[in-house]
Structure 1
Amino acid sequence: MTHATPSLDLGYSFCPNDTFIFYALAHGRVPAPMPVREVLEDVQTLNDWAREGRLPITKISYRAYFEVMDQYVALRAGGALGRGVGPLIVAREQLGDLNGKLVASPGSLTTAEMLLRVRHPDVRVVRMRYDEVMPAVARGEVDAGLIIHESRFTFHEYGLVRLVDLGAWWEGETGLPLPLGAILVRRDLPRATQWALNEAVRASLEYAYAHPQEPKGYIRQHALEMSDDVMQAHIDLYVNDFSLDVGAEGERAVRELYRRAVQAGVARASDRPLFVERP
C-alpha cells in the first residue's frame, strides 16, 4: 500500500508580487520539505485566518503578525518591505485636515490602517475589501480612501488625488523601509522544517527571477483585470532584495513597527523571536 505524501496548505494573495514569488513552490519547480497546496485569498481574509491558526504557512500583514506571534513566526524570505511602497490616502479633491473624516480602509489588521491611525488618530473608519475602496471614494460614499497594492498605480483612473503617502511619512520618521507583509509558519513546526520552508520560499523567488516568462500566465490568471504594465510595475515595486532575505535593515524596520504597535496599544509586548532561525 502506498501513502500520499502529506502536504502543507500555503496561503497567499492574488497580488502579482505573491503569485510571482510562490509560482515555483506551488508548482513543484523547487525542492521543499513537503509538497504545498496553494490557498489564494485576499490579505484581510488571510489575516483573519491566522488569528484562528488555520494555515501552517501563510502570507500576512505585519500589523496582523503582531497579534498572532504566539502561534506563528515570520520567515526571512518572501515578505514585502521597501521604500516607496507605502499605502496612500486618496480623495476626490484635496481635503486639508483629515481628522473627523470618514476613510475607507482595506482592513483592521492591515499595516496600512495601523499607520493611518498613528498619523491621523481622529479619523472615522469604514472597512471594505481593498479593491472596493477607490470606487467607494469615487462615488462619494466616503471622504477618502486608504489604498494598497496595485491601487497606487491606478487611482488617477478614478479621478482621485493623493492626499498623504503614509510610506513616505514612515520613511521620514524612521529612516527605515516600511514593512508591509510577511510569510509566517506555525511555531509548532520543527525548527528544521521552518528553516527548510524559508529556503524553499527563497528558492521559489530565485526561480522566478531566473525564468521571468514562465510565471506570467499564472500571475495573469489572478491579476484582477490588471494591465500587463501595472502587473509588472506591482512586481517591480513590491519584490526586492528584502523579499530574498529581510536582512539586518529589514529586521530593524520590523522591530520599530512592532515597538510603535505596542506603544500605540494595538499589540502586546513579547520576547518571542520575530524571525525563523537556522537550526
Structure 2
Amino acid sequence: MISVGHSPDADDLFMYYAIVFGWVDSQNVTFCNVAKDIQTLNRATLKGEYDVSAISFALYPFVAENYALLRTGVSFGDGYGPKLIKLKGKILKKSFKVALSGEHTTNAMLFSLAYPEARIVYKNFLEIEVSVLNGEVDAGVLIHESILNFDERLEVEREIWDIWNELSGGGLPLPLGGMALRRSLPLTTAIECEEILTKAVRVAVNNKRILSQMLLERGLIRVNEKELDTYLNLYANDNSITMSEKEIRAVDKLFELGYKAGFYPQQIRACDYFIPSEYNRLRFS
C-alpha cells in the first residue's frame, strides 16, 4: 500500500481523484490517500511520513536525499500566482507584519527575498484573509483558490509572480507545487507509481468536465463551478502532466536563488533527482 499525501485544494484533488474513482489502476500498486494543507505536507515530508507527497518546490532541496522528485502533478504560475494583499488604502512600512502559509512554501521564500525586513507569522492558508481583515496582521499572501475571490475591502499590494520575474530574470513560469516519492521504495515500484500518477493527471485533464462535476457533486471542492474551471485552467492543465524543459529550468532557477540567498546548503539540479524511468526499458529489453 503506497501512502499519498495531497492538499485539499482543487488542483491536487483534480489531479489525483481519477485514481480514487477507479479510472486509473494497477495490478501491482495500491494507493491510500490523505488530504492535508501544503505546509503540513511539507513538514510530513521532512519527517518521511508518506511514500508520495505533494510538496512546495521550495522544500525539495531539504528532502532530496530521501525523496525523488516526480515529473508529474506539478503546478506552475505563468503570469499569475499567490497574491500579497492588504486592506485598501493601507500603507505598509518596511517592517510590516505579514501572514504566510508556511515557512517551506515557494511563496514564503520569494516573499522573504523581496521583503527581508517584514515580520512573518505562519498560518493555515484558510485563515490568512481573516487575519488581514481583523487587523491581526498588516498583510497576507493568499494562495490556492483564495486568489480568485477575496473580500472587497482588500486589495493586491504585489503579485508573487512579479517578484519571481524580477528575481529570475523573466521568461520562466513560477514553480509552486510538485510531488516527491520516497527513495526507499523499490525502483520498479517507484517507476510504476510515477506512471500511474501521470496517467491520473492525463485522464483528469482529458476528462475535465466530467471529473470536475463529480468532485462538485460530492462536496469535495471549496469553490463554485465557474471558479473551479478558472482555477483548473491556471494550475491543473496540460502542463501539469509532465514537466517540460522550460519548467525544469524554472525549478533549477528557484533552487539557485534559494542557494545564493543561503536557504539551502548546496545547489542542486532537478534532473539529477528524477526517477530513472528508462530503467525498465533497459532492464527488460
What is the TM-score with the length of structure 2 in the denominator?
A: 0.89
Please say if residues 41 and 55 of structure 2, whose CA atoms lie closer than 8 Å, have aligned partners that are also in contact.
yes
Partner of 2:191: 195
RMSD: 1.8
Q: How far apart are the structure 2 equivalents of 1:153 and 1:270? A: 34
Please say if residues 205 and 238 of structure 2, whose CA atoms lie closer than 8 Å, have aligned partners that are also in contact.
no
- 4+ residue runs of structure 1 moved beyond 6 angstroms? none
Find the partner of 1:38 among 33, 42, 45.
33
Find the partner of 1:211 among 196, 207, 210.
207
Find the partner of 2:15 among 7, 10, 21.
21
Report the AA paired with residue 220 of structure 2: H
Please say if residues 10 and 231 of structure 2, whose CA atoms lie closer than 8 Å, have aligned partners that are also in contact.
yes
Say if 2:178 is the partner of 1:182: yes
In 2 relative to 1, CA 122–209 (structure 1 residues): closer, same or farther, beyond 3 Å? Answer: same
Partner of 1:3: none
Please say if residues 83 and 171 of structure 1, whose CA atoms lie closer than 8 Å, have aligned partners that are also in contact.
no
Residue-by-residue CA offset, 1:108-146 (whole Å, 9 max, x unaligned): 111111010011111001111001000110111110011
In the comparison of the two structures, how many residue pairs are matched? 271
Question: For 1:54-203, what aligned pairs fall within 5 Å after superposition?
Answer: 54-96=49-91, 98-155=93-150, 157-172=151-166, 173-203=169-199
Q: Counterpart of 1:150 in 2: which secondary structure?
A: helix
Q: How far apart are the structure 2 equivalents of 1:27 and 1:229? A: 23
Higher mean C-alpha deviation, range 11-20 or range 231-240: 231-240
Report the AA paired with residue 11 of structure 1: G
Higher mean C-alpha deviation, range 65-74 or range 90-99: 90-99
Residue-by-residue CA offset, 1:45-66 (whole Å, 9 max, x unaligned): 1111001000000101011222
Residue-by-residue CA offset, 1:79-121 (whole Å, 9 max, x unaligned): 1113033211000024455520000111111111101001111
In 2 relative to 1, CA 98–180 (structure 1 residues): closer, same or farther, beyond 3 Å? Answer: farther
Higher mean C-alpha deviation, range 139-148 or range 226-235: 226-235
Q: Counterpart of 2:201 in 1: which secondary structure?
A: helix
Q: How far apart are the structure 2 equivalents of 1:86 and 1:197? A: 28
Partner of 1:249: 246
Residue-by-residue CA offset, 1:212-271 (whole Å, 9 max, x unaligned): 3135333552323x2222222111111123311111101100000001111111122155
Q: Which runs of 5+ in 2 are unaligned?
A: 280-285
Q: How far apart are the structure 1 equivalents of 2:105 and 2:265? A: 16
Partner of 1:235: 232
Q: How far apart are the structure 2 equivalents of 1:209 and 1:76? A: 16
Report the AA paired with residue 198 of structure 1: E
Report the AA paired with residue 195 of structure 2: E
Q: How far apart are the structure 2 equivalents of 1:271 and 1:214? A: 36
Partner of 1:266: 263
Report the AA paired with residue 244 of structure 1: I
In 2 relative to 1, CA 194–270 (structure 1 residues): closer, same or farther, beyond 3 Å? Answer: farther
What is the TM-score with the length of structure 1 in the denominator?
A: 0.91
Q: How far apart are the structure 2 equivalents of 1:206 and 1:258? A: 27
Please say if residues 75 and 236 of structure 2, whose CA atoms lie closer than 8 Å, have aligned partners that are also in contact.
yes
Per the TM alignment, residue 22 of structure 1 is displaced from its structure 2 partner at its CA by: 0.4
In 2 relative to 1, CA 190–97 (structure 1 residues): closer, same or farther, beyond 3 Å? Answer: same
Q: Which runs of 5+ in 1 are unaligned?
A: 1-6
Please say if residues 98 and 120 of structure 1, whose CA atoms lie closer than 8 Å, have aligned partners that are also in contact.
no
